[in-house]
Amino acid sequence: MELNERVPEEQLLYARWLDSGTRVGFVALLAAFVAYVSGVLPPYVPLETLPKVWGMPVAQYLHSTGAPEGWGWLSLIARGDYLNLAGIVMLASVSAVCYARVLVALLARRERLQASMAATQLLVFAAVIAGLC
Amino acid sequence: MRAATLLLALACSASAHAADGAVAPWWIWPLALFALSFALGAVSVLAGVGGGVLFVPIVGGFFPFHLDFVRGAGLLLALASSLAASPVLLRNGLANLRLALPLALVASIAAIAGALLGLALPVAVVETALGVVVLGIAGVMWLARRSESPAATSDRLGAALRLHGVFHDPALARDVEWRVQRTPLGIATFACIGLLAGMFGLGAGWANVPTLNLLLGLPLKLSVGTSGFLLSVVDTAAAWVYLLRGAVLPILVAPSVLGVMLGARLGVRFLGRAPAAVVRRLVIALLLVAGARALLKGLGAWN
């Protein structure tokens, strides 16, 4: 598809960062999933046990399996199932990284209104990623 | 597509066994999810809706996973589709970043509230509300009209936020000026859309496009492209709530995300050749069945 000459520079910058981040996230997720289901990395919750617990509400699932909440999963990253969360986290972080990059570009161009909206969005992302919500 | 249908039939059979008390082997479900998501990815591209709106009611209604995990997976599925499409949409100007900034901000805050609300409410309430919303979406899809005439004037807030610009339409080979009208109402509508997206794990393309096109008065192509991009921001915010609350199961998410991505690539190939009206009717029919199933399940009439 041809490049539109009217597209602002910061939008092209966002697109470039989004493209790269998304590709990395997909590859990481695919690799982690293969390692998980092939048994290369043993999971925290055994695959054979999953059908007994995946029908439970999340609170009951966490209680039954002892699975962690919040960022507690990082301590289990060597397990096949939790390594998958790393790929998912990458995909769920790409937009925040792009906003941070675009904020710098907007500030450099003294686009205060757009920069303030991008900064507020980053604060929202930061609050939810930190588990404050 | 035939392989996808076969695997789906296998999943239905496994579901029936499970209902009889026999436990189907675990690997049936990721395979069935991959097949379903592959089919949904193709169909949703052809019908112009996000995959999440079909995924959540179908998987929530006919698969053995709890709705908490299904909603988390639905959001991540919609997020993945949007992340894959957005770089192209942004690069060729079919999505507009400046236009998305205020709308995404409001919708993402509402989506976080929706996700928290959805995880706090009893599942029967969420399921019943999901059924009502999905049946409503089928109604919106059936009745929605599209406008090809962009707004001629801006309102005060739209002008203050500098929500105007020029969009180059490659099909028409000309520039189209756009500006936003009814901005306060549009922002309020995006708050409601975000709330629903976060609460039910639905992608919100079904609501974004008519709001951008009919309410805010944007050109249709810019509305479709910006809607696709908006999902990547709004769903990110809500997905983190599900992720940190432990409501993301890799066995559910990974095959669904990979399936929808591959299916969407197939759907794009058939975009110009597929009978759009037939696909659209198929999607509405699927929404009616899945919505009715969610509603009846929530009311305890069909478990």
> Does A76 map to a domain?
yes
Residue B28 backbone dihedrals phi, psi, to 5 degrees:
-60, -40
Q: State how far the Cα of B29 lies from the Cα of B10, in Å rounded to an integer.
A: 9
> Does A35 map to a domain?
yes
Mean pLDDT of B10-22: 51
Residue B249 is predicted with a pLDDT of: 96
User: So what's the ipTM on this one?
Assistant: 0.94
H-helix or E-strand containing B70?
helix B67-91
> Does A3 map to a domain?
no
Q: Amino acid identity, residue B298?
A: G
DSSP bridge partners of B167 = B176
Winning range, highest mean pLDDT, from B5-19, B81-95, B257-271: B81-95
Longest dimension (CA), chain A: 57
> Does A1 map to a domain?
no
B/e letters for A71-99, b = 16+ CB within 10 Å, e = fewer, are eebeebeebbbbbbbebbbbbbbbbbbbb
pLDDT in tens, B57-70: 999 999 999 999 99
Of B23, B105, B123, the CB nearest to A117: B105
Domain count, chain A: 1
Selection from B290, B200, B270, B288 nearest residue B43 by Cα: B270
Mean pLDDT of B110-124: 95
> Does A2 map to a domain?
no
Residue B271 is predicted with a pLDDT of: 62
B52 within 8 A of B202, measured Cβ to Cβ: yes
H-helix or E-strand containing B175?
strand B174-179
> Does A21 map to a domain?
yes
B90 within 8 A of A14, measured Cβ to Cβ: yes
CA B116, B119, B124, B130 torsion: positive or negative? positive
A125: containing domain: 9-129
Q: State how far the Cα of B142 lies from the Cα of B157, in Å rounded to an integer.
A: 32
Q: Which residues contact A55 (CB under 8 A, 6 or more apart)?
A: B64, B65, B66
SS3 B234: helix
Q: Amino acid identity, residue B74?
A: G
Decide if pLDDT at B21 tops 50: no
Q: Where are the beta strands (DSSP E) in B204-287?
A: none
Q: Decide if A65 touches B, using CB distance below 8 A.
A: no
- Stated pTM of the model: 0.89
pLDDT in tens, B174-223: 888 899 999 999 999 999 999 999 999 987 888 888 899 989 999 988 99
B/e letters for B53-79, b = 16+ CB within 10 Å, e = fewer, are bbbbbbbbbbbbbbbbbbbbbbbbbbb
> Does A90 map to a domain?
yes
Contacts of B112 in chain A (CB under 8 A): 124, 128, 133
Answer yes or no: do B92 and A129 touch at CB < 8 A: no
Contacts of B104 in chain A (CB under 8 A): 121
CA distance B143 to chain A (A): 32
Q: State how far the Cα of A68 lies from the Cα of B69, in Å rounded to an integer.
A: 15
CA distance A10 to chain B (A): 8
DSSP bridge partners of B179 = B164
Of B64, B88, B254, the CB nearest to A51: B64
Q: State how far the Cα of B285 lies from the Cα of B291, in Å rounded to an integer.
A: 10
Of B101, B243, B258, the CB nearest to A118: B101
Contacts of B239 in chain A (CB under 8 A): 92
Q: Amino acid identity, residue A72?
A: G
Tokens of A44: 């925290």
> Does A70 map to a domain?
yes
Q: Amino acid identity, residue B297?
A: K
Instruction: Tell which A residues from 71 to 100 touch B, by Cβ distance under 8 Å.
Output: 71, 81-82, 84-85, 87-89, 91-96, 99
Answer yes or no: do B90 and A18 touch at CB < 8 A: yes
CA distance B167 to chain A (A): 8
